[in-house]
Amino acid sequence: MSKIYDVIILGAGPGGLAAGLYSGRARLSTCIIEKGQDGGQIAITDSIENYPGQIVEGESGPSLIKRMTEQAEKFGCERVRDTIKSVELGGKIKKLVGTNGSYEGKTVILATGAYPRPIGCKGEQEFLGKGVSYCATCDANFFEELPVYVVGGGDAAVEEAMYLTKFASSVTLIHRRNELRAAKSIQERAFKNEKLHFMWDSVVEELGGDDILQEMKVKNVKTGEITEIRASEEDGMFGLFGFIGRIPNTDLLKDCGLTMDDRGYIPTDDDMKTNIPGVFAAGDVRVKSLRQVVTAAADGAIAATQAEKYINENP
């Protein structure tokens, strides 16, 4: 007979690991399932500056996640490396079926995360964390007094571009159309910002550089003209931020009765409860206004606490 866990946590990013810490400390039998490396998006971040209690002298994504992982395991969380292929969440006992086995639990915390929609240019992955970023709040400080380029034209892209003007020497927004899609009120503020410039009808084609981002080819979609951008000798590099949306990791959950919004994110209440009893969501996969390590960790703590309450009320 297979083991029935009190809590199964799907995903070992900050939200999932925080949930594991709290459920483990509550003496709940807990299994964290992760298909890749722990940490999610934060695992590829070279430097972190805005997580409370971090090592001030220098904290990387991997170093922070390593400690989170050790903390969860200290309180008895079992770890499984597996890719889940199907889920059954509707019954009293939830079942997750993976490539390597099946897992049953009284509650499930979905912490599968989301990932930035890629810009789609040559060299993008090569320069990720070396000039290419998808999070202004996370990485703006690293581009102080350097030129920065932003890809996108919606609300998020324009707002993040304006945020970056507080740090960068200049910010140029690259948009494939000849007008922004952002709300008019946001556009008005953007056009008044003297440090914010625009490249219309343009897409980034290719990135280059000597280990850090130093060169970029931008194509005009109407004329086909290629503009080559190179970092000045004084600057040595520039930044490129992509804000063309995020994609939640919820394909697996589409046919299990779970309510999702039109983008695939999971709505929850303040207690991280989904529409299915005993199923909770935490971190970037949720419908939420701020996707950061600190908010994911808070979600995980709440979800685990509520999972314990659910188990006590549904023996």
Nearest to 126 by CA among 68, 44, 203: 44
Concerning whether 211 is annotated as a catalytic residue, the answer is no
Q: Is 258 helix (H, G, I), strand (E, B) or coil?
A: coil
CA nearest neighbour of 108 among 235, 281, 292, 294: 281
- The angle, 0 to 180 degrees and rounded to 10, between the axes of the packed helices 155-164 and 184-192 is 30
Q: Which of the following is catalytic: 6, 38, 139, 284?
A: 139
Is 31 among the residues known to form the active site? no
Q: HSE on the CB side for 39, CA within 13 Å?
A: 18
DSSP symbol at 247:
E
DSSP per position, 138-175: HHGGGGTTSEEEEE--SHHHHHHHHHHTTTSSEEEEE-
> 33 with 10: CB under 8 angstroms?
yes
- Backbone phi, then psi, for 273, in 5-degree steps? -80, 135
Q: Please identify which residue in the block is written with the tokens 């581009």.
A: 143
Q: Which helix (H) or strand (E) holds 68?
A: helix 61-74
* Chain length of the chain: 315
| Cα–Cα distance measured from residue 29 to residue 69, given in angstroms and rounded to the nearest whole number | 16
Active-site annotation holder among 38, 121, 138, 284: 138
Helix (H) / strand (E) containing 17: helix 14-25
- 270 is annotated as an active-site residue: no
Which of 135, 201, 235, 256 does the annotation list as catalytic? 135
Residues that are catalytic: 135, 138-139
